[in-house]
Structure 1
Amino acid sequence: MKIAIIPKDERDKRFVNALKSKGAEVTIIAQNFISAKFDAQFKFTCFNKGRNFRYVARHIKAYANLEGINLLNFDLIFLRQNEILSEKDKFIFDTIEILENEGMNVINPTEGIRTSKDKYLGYYYLKKNGINIPETYTSNNEMSTYFQILKSKSKDNKDKFVFKPMSGKGGIGIVITCEKSTAGDILSMFALNNKVAIFQKFIKNNKDMRIIVVGDEVIGGIERIAGKGMHKNGISTGGKAVAFKVSDELKEISVKASKALKCKISGVDIIEDKESNNYRVLEVNCSPAFDGFQRATKINVYEKIADYLIKECKK
């Protein structure tokens, strides 16, 4: 079994040991050394030696005669990289999408990554598949969003408003306020940076849940409890992780949400809405971090995912 990993960061090297211990041949693909050639046939290669121009310049003769690794020779590509911030990032995703069209098994599929990274599309597909989400409004006209805020009503006039960028990670860019005038200033900042704000009704709860889905299985869950004086529950924003037993209802919601966004491995964030007495999906993360989850649950996520990837190779 030949498995290639396109990592998100250095922590993803832990997958290498887990996969190798199960007999897989593993290659980490350097993201900036992928090439494509359209000639008599398609050819997609990667070079795994060196990561910058200076290194290549010092070894120019070796590189000039190097054929590279044929990406189509892998049984599976494990795609953890999920950011499309530049044209080079887009090239990686376009290449992987082409490989999918050529029959390559890619996990997560590019469609799942693109959809889950776009909160606007993500909320649409969640809602389309009958999954509860927070009350959501968005527009590429900030005044339209502001009028929606002015029309919002609450019993005690103390509702908080949540603003999220269409794409982001780790809670970066999420702003919460209870002042309508401040909400207007926030929208102005989004507009000045040519960003579209997603406006949601704040759900009162000092904790939410991160549930890890691998294929059709939930392998565990943590409650993420907000730090003192904080409104964000994420571990990356100071929240505390506590393991809990995932109910059958939450398992069903999590797997359904992951599939709705075409993800095969995901971290599904869910909050309990005590006012309406139901659960709402906040986000489906296509490349979740596992450190906090693993410390809290004592579940070896890397081993679980390695087992799943090998099973997928054999299909």
Structure 2
Amino acid sequence: MRIVVLGNEGSWYVADLQRAARERGHVCERIDYGALVAEASTARNTVLSGDEDLAAWDAVVIRTMPPGSLEQVVFRMDALHRLHESGVQVLNSPRAIECAVDKYLTTARLARDGLPVPATIACEGFDQAMAAFERLGGDVVVKPLFGAEGRGIVRVSDPDIAHRVFRTLERIGAVLYLQQFIRHPGWDLRLLLLDGRPLGAIRRSNPTDFRTNISREGHAEVHTPDDREVEYAIRAAESTQTRFAGVDLLYGPDGTLYVIEVNAVPGWRGFQKATGLDVAERVVSSIESSS
């Protein structure tokens, strides 16, 4: 098999996928989004990287969706859709990526499908954001609509700080995405799913930060999920159409289990260290089975 990874140069995850692919007898190469060239004519309708026609490859694994202009992001998604439609296996699918990278769309779909989510309000204006701040109890988590690894997430519980944060976000043309802060026991859960089944789970904690992301020095330990945790994670992956997903769950003070996020480009370095599971090998094996 020939596998392309859309990922950053020097990425540990790209290297791990290449290692796993090599061990299973496959070719695995990394490319940047900037290398993509799309052609559309009666003679040729495809996506290229250099002289390579990516439609001739067996699979494309998405390991990053870097920031860019609206046109750049739309073009990247168009190229992924074109590859998917031409029969190339894309992990995750373009539809899943479009949903999961958009925090509001993800939360709205989870709520639509009956999964408990923190009360959430998204808007564009300062006045609406200040009203939302009050409606959500004056203690909120403000997140970028697009983002990962906890970057850009802040907790705001002071009206004066809220005023400054919301004004700043309005001025730079950002969407103001506010979630009610859920008081929790100091840890959350990350379940990693592949092909509709959990590979395993970890419990993440951080004594100095409400963000438990491993990339932010959070601590991970192996966790055995119960039936409800597994059910919620599977349903969350189905809601977002993600085949390979990291689902974050959080318990509130009354025992309510919330689905916080679904990540369609999930990291597994901390998960692998805690569980001992070779995730890249599982991913490559899944690609084989679906070819």
Matched, 1:77 2:60: yes
**Aligned mates of 2:183, 2:193 — CA distance in 1:** 25
Hey, what's the Cα distance between the residues in 1 that align with 2:52 and 2:158?
Answer: 56
| 1:286 maps onto 2:264 in alignment | yes
Q: 2:141 is aligned with what amino acid?
A: V
1:210 counterpart (185, 190, 206): 190
**CA apart distance, 1:95:** 1.2
- For the pair 1:271 / 2:250, whether they are aligned, the reply is yes
Change (3 A) 1:35 1:161: closer
Is residue 46–residue 83 contact of structure 2 (8 Å, CA) maintained in 1?
A: no
Please list every run of 5 or more consecutive structure 2 residues that lacks an aligned counterpart in the other structure.
none
Q: Within 2, Cα distance between the matches of 1:204 and 1:235?
A: 20
- Whether the 8 Å contact between 1:18 and 1:303 is mirrored in structure 2 is yes
| d(CA) in 2 for partners of 1:173, 1:100 | 31
> Structure 1 length as normaliser, TM-score?
0.85
Q: Distance in 2 between matches of 1:92 and 1:150?
A: 38
Total equivalences in the alignment: 286
Higher Rg = 1
Q: Describe how 1:217-232 pairs up with structure 2 within 5 A.
A: 217-228=197-208, 230-232=209-211
1:243 and 2:227 equivalent? no
2:116 alignment partner AA: N
In structure 2, the CA distance between the partners of 1:35 and 1:152, relative to structure 1 (3 Å rule), is closer
Q: Cα distance, 1:171 vs. partner? A: 1.2
Deviation of 1:152 after TM superposition, in Å, equals 4.6
Q: Does 1:125 align with 2:109?
A: yes
Q: Secondary structure at the match of 1:210?
A: strand
Q: 1:88 and 1:150 mapped to 2: Cα distance?
A: 36
Task: Give SS of 2:34's match.
Answer: coil
How far apart, CA to CA, are the structure 1 residues paired with 2:136 and 2:239? Answer: 29
2: CA distance, partners of 1:126 / 1:180 = 29
2-structure distance, mates of 1:5, 1:220: 24
Rounded Cα–Cα distance in structure 1 between residues aligned with 2:260 and 2:247: 8
For residues 134 and 33 of structure 2, what CA distance do their matches in structure 1 show?
46
Distance 1:43 1:173 in 2: 36
Equivalent residue number for residue 131 of structure 2: 147
Change (3 A) 1:152 1:5: closer
CA 1:151–1:17 in 2, change beyond 3 Å: closer, same or farther? closer
- TM-score, structure 2 as length reference: 0.91
Structure 2 distance, partners of 1:3, 1:181, is 51
SS in 1 for 2:169: helix
CA RMSD of aligned residues (A): 1.8
CA contact (8 A) 1:161 1:183 kept: no
Alignment match, 2:37: 35
Which residues in structure 2 correspond to 1:61-72 (within 5 Å)?
Answer: 68-72=51-55
How far 1:89 moved relative to its partner?
4.8
Distance verdict in 2 for CA 1:152–1:130, change over 3 Å: closer
Of 159, 165, 180, the match for 2:159? 180
Query: For residue 279 of structure 2, what is the aligned residue in structure 1?
Result: 301
More off after superposition, 257-266 vs 19-28: 19-28
The 2-side partners of 1:139 and 1:30 are apart by: 33
Distance change in 2, residues 1:44/1:165 (3 Å): closer
